[in-house]
């Protein structure tokens, strides 16, 4: 997937299904209801970015502390949260590169975190001590990408996915924490992705991408060196979820024979498959707690997460504690299975962490992430809406209406386009969206055809039709906005990142009179170059991406050139704002450099902001603040000039 920056975006067409957890309640609205308008208190972007993002990654040995990741220092760093008094002690103090919490090292005072070099995506795993300055790169292999893949059952070794041997493929390694010497568990030479390892290490679950709509699922017996295919030849997606400890049961999800994915129990010895859970939306995955007391199921429920907890042995549901105006976005169950770390969020507040003790049924709030200067009532709750596109297709979208907007105070608006291809805008908290809406701009985040989460037929509707039907969906989203009596029909722009940025450029180039302005974050301008320069470690996914987008080394290049905004820049006649990370390996800086140079030749207003030390998505708070601030200034100048900047 090209883009995975914004917290309300879920990207789904990459090697692994990816869960993002920032959501709120929805309803099916036409948004023609009358809501009394009010002028909310308006906040600066600095106030909004003084909100904190905090996630929990692990319980310590006695379950008194939690290893967390947070951006409270201005960039993501690792910290430790004391459950008793909720105090936070920062463990890393990076100001240059983001550090992401991974795990405690069992039985020690050490922890592990992940970090790359300025967004180059070559992440390494680092070992650090809480009480000293020791930092050890346990994956010191040049030009490699490495990730934590779990603990051995005895907790004396960890598994690492790494492309250190061959930059194109990720092997599975086992590293003893006493010596930190890696041992090769599985050598990958056939474009597989290793997604699960059984508790005894005998079995591996492998997947292989065929197209973006189809993959294959295998189970590999390391003892007998037998590779067994579990999937069939149907056009369907398959993903491993969990092994039971007994090495006889594995769980996976698939949408074989269905629009939406469901959960399957697979009996390894007999090959028997049982469908054990389905919903009217995608079952995105499941997990088992340490001793298999609980089973957690994740559902992509119309643009929001739905998480269900079950007693694993009986299959009976277990209720989460009720939390007013909050949705459970994530669950981490402690090794003793007595404590649960709940991530709770909504569209008007960043996620917060809560501790739920199963024995005492007590619930404790551990964090307060919303800036105390901000009244949540001044922020806007997201709504799920639907509109009919050019060909009668129903298109879902996430909508944010400014509180001050009414027919006498009409708002400018933005069509917001997610990344991908195949991403999904979701109900959830976004500093950037709330900033724009708080200052009077409506935002309609369109889940155009090809977006994930709405069934596999909808998902593949954009295959080799990019910048056509999907772009028209955005234009028909604009038409929906124009039907709202409180929208200034002459002041509608388009905003997007990565693939969404390409849609922005395409809208301005191929439909130059539809949108008044465009805001492009590291968008693809030249599809041939982007598809030829994809990172080498995408090898397992490259052919599938070519199947969907087109192969730049074949006659497909003719169509790819025709839909590349760079070769149509002469048609762009509306103001354009462009942001780019200098270290982006997915959409190269040249993409933005060249489109900016081209549009400037048209005599059109163009603003270009390049961030050194950033990759595909910005992680430094100062750059995030600048991006939002420059965007609002640009909109106030070119989209709705009569607006007054009030912060």
Left, alpha or beta for 460 (phi > 0: left; psi -120 to 50: alpha)? alpha
What's residue 647's pLDDT? 43
Band the pLDDT of 209: cuts 50, 70, 90.
very high
Whether the pLDDT of residue 33 is over 70: the answer is no
Q: Are 583 and 553 in contact (CB under 8 A)?
A: no
What's residue 319's pLDDT? 87
The Cα 153–Cα 201 span in angstroms is: 9
Whether the pLDDT of residue 12 is over 70: the answer is no
Averaged over 22-29, what is the pLDDT?
28
Model-level pTM? 0.92
Q: Are 345 and 22 in contact (CB under 8 A)?
A: yes
DSSP state of 538: G
| E strand residue ranges, 418-498 | 424-425, 441-446, 487-497
For 175-202, write each residue's pLDDT tens digit: 999 999 999 999 999 889 999 999 999 9
Secondary structure class of 102 (helix, strand, coil): strand
Mean pLDDT score of the chain: 92
> Kind of pairing, strands 238-243 and 226-229?
unpaired
The count of residues in the chain is 647
Whether the pLDDT of residue 508 is over 90: the answer is yes
What's phi and psi for 230, nearest 5 deg? -100, -35
What's residue 35's pLDDT? 56
Band the pLDDT of 324: cuts 50, 70, 90.
confident
What's residue 153's pLDDT? 94
Can 53-151 and 375-639 be said to share one CATH topology? no
Whether the pLDDT of residue 22 is over 90: the answer is no
What's residue 540's pLDDT? 86
> Kind of pairing, strands 487-497 and 411-417?
parallel
Residue recorded with tokens 């009976």? 316
CB atoms within 10 A of CB 257: 10
Give ∠ CA 501-505-507 in degrees, rounded to 5: 110
For 555-594, write each residue's pLDDT tens digit: 999 999 999 999 999 999 999 999 999 999 999 999 999 9
CATH no. for 375-639: 3.40.50.1820
Q: Are 252 and 239 in contact (CB under 8 A)?
A: yes
For 619-645, write each residue's pLDDT tens digit: 999 999 999 999 999 999 999 886 444
Q: Where are the domains of the chain?
A: 53-151, 375-639
Q: Which distant-in-sequence residues (6+ apart) come within 8 Å of 560 by Cβ? A: 527, 528, 531, 549, 550, 552
What's residue 134's pLDDT? 82
Whether the pLDDT of residue 23 is over 50: the answer is no
Q: Which CATH number fits domain 53-151: 2.120.10.30, 3.30.56.10, 3.40.50.1370, 2.170.270.10?
A: 2.120.10.30
* Cβ neighbourhood burial of 243 (10 Å; 0-12, 13-18, 19+): buried
The Cα 112–Cα 99 span in angstroms is: 10
What's phi and psi for 446, nearest 5 deg? -85, 130
What's residue 11's pLDDT? 34
CA 508 to chain CA mean position, Å: 26
What share of the chain has pLDDT > 70, as a percent? 94
The Cα 494–Cα 499 span in angstroms is: 13
What's phi and psi for 600, nearest 5 deg? -60, -30
Band the pLDDT of 25: cuts 50, 70, 90.
very low
The Cα 403–Cα 416 span in angstroms is: 19
Q: Are 413 and 487 in contact (CB under 8 A)?
A: yes
What share of the chain has pLDDT > 90, as a percent? 87
Secondary structure class of 147 (helix, strand, coil): strand
Alpha helices in 551-588 (DSSP H): 556-562
Averaged over 460-473, what is the pLDDT?
95
What's residue 349's pLDDT? 94
> Kind of pairing, strands 88-90 and 424-425?
unpaired
Give the end-to-end CA distance of the chain in Å, rounded to a whole number: 36
What's residue 323's pLDDT? 82
The Cα 435–Cα 420 span in angstroms is: 24
Whether the pLDDT of residue 205 is over 80: the answer is yes
The Cα 262–Cα 259 span in angstroms is: 10
Listing DSSP states for 373-434 in one string gives T--GGGS---EEEEEE-TTS-EEEEEEE--TT-BTTBPEEEEEEE-STTT-EE-S---HHHH
What's residue 4's pLDDT? 38
Band the pLDDT of 2: cuts 50, 70, 90.
low
Range scoring the smallest mean pLDDT among 14-23, 130-139, 434-443, 632-641:
14-23
> Kind of pairing, strands 606-611 and 576-581?
parallel
């Amino acid at each position: 997937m090209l883009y995975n920056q914004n917290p309300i975006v879920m990207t789904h067409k990459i090697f692994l299904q990816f869960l993002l957890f920032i959501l709120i309640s929805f309803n099916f609205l036409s948004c023609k209801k009358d809501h009394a308008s009010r002028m909310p208190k308006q906040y600066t972007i600095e106030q909004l970015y003084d909100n904190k993002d905090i996630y929990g990654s692990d319980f310590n040995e006695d379950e008194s502390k939690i290893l967390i990741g947070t951006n409270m220092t201005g960039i993501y760093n690792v910290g430790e949260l004391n459950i008793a008094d909720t105090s936070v002690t920062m463990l890393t103090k990076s100001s240059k590169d983001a550090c992401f919490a991974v795990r405690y090292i069992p039985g020690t005072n050490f922890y592990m975190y992940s970090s790359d070099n300025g967004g180059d995506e070559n992440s390494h795993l680092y070992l650090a001590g809480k009480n000293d300055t020791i930092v050890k790169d346990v994956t010191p292999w040049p030009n490699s990408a490495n990730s934590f893949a779990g603990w051995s059952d005895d907790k004396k070794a960890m598994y690492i996915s790494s492309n250190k041997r061959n930059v194109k493929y990720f092997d599975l390694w086992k590293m003893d924490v006493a010596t930190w010497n890696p041992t090769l568990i599985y050598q990958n030479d056939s474009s597989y992705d290793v997604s699960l390892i059984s508790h005894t290490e005998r079995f591996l679950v492998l997947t292989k991408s065929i197209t973006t709509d189809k993959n294959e699922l295998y189970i590999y017996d390391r003892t007998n060196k037998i590779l067994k295919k579990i999937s069939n030849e149907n056009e369907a997606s398959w993903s491993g979820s969990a092994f039971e400890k007994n090495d006889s049961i594995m769980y996976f999800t698939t949408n074989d024979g269905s629009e939406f994915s469901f959960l399957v129990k697979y009996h390894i010895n007999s090959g028997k498959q049982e469908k054990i859970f389905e919903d009217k939306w995608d079952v995105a995955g499941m997990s088992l707690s340490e001793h298999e007391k609980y089973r957690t199921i994740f559902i992509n429920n119309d643009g929001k997460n739905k998480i269900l907890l079950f007693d694993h042995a009986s299959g009976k549901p277990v209720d989460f504690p009720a939390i007013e105006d909050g949705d459970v976005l994530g669950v981490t169950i402690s090794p003793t299975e007595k404590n649960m770390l709940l991530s709770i969020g909504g569209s008007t507040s960043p996620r917060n962490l809560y501790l739920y003790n199963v024995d005492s049924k007590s619930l404790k709030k551990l964090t307060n992430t919303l800036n105390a200067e901000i009244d949540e009532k001044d922020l806007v709750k997201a709504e799920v809406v639907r509109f009919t596109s050019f060909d009668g297709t129903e298109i879902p979208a996430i909508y944010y209406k400014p509180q001050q907007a009414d027919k006498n105070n009409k708002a400018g608006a933005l069509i917001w386009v997610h990344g991908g291809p195949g991403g999904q805008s979701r109900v959830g908290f976004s500093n950037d969206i709330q900033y724009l809406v708080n200052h009077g701009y409506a935002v309609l985040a369109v889940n155009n055809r090809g977006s994930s989460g709405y069934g596999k037929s909808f998902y593949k509707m954009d295959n080799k039709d990019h910048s056509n039907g999907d772009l028209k969906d955005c234009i028909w989203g604009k038409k929906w906005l124009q039907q709202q009596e409180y929208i200034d029909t002459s002041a509608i722009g388009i905003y997007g990142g990565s693939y969404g940025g390409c849609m922005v450029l395409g809208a301005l180039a191929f439909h130059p009179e539809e949108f008044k302005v465009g805001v492009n974050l590291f968008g693809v301008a030249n599809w041939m170059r982007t598809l030829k320069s994809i990172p080498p470690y995408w090898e397992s996914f490259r052919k599938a991406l070519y199947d969907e987008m087109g192969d730049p080394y074949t006659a497909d290049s003719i169509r790819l050139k025709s839909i590349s905004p760079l070769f149509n820049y002469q048609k762009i006649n509306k103001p354009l704002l462009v942001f780019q990370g200098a270290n982006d390996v997915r959409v190269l800086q040249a993409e933005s450099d060249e489109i900016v140079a081209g549009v400037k030749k048209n005599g059109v207003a163009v603003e270009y902001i390049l961030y050194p030390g950033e990759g595909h998505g910005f992680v430094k708070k100062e750059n995030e603040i600048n991006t939002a601030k420059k965007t609002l200034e640009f909109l106030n100048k070119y989209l709705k000039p009569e607006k007054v900047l009030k912060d």
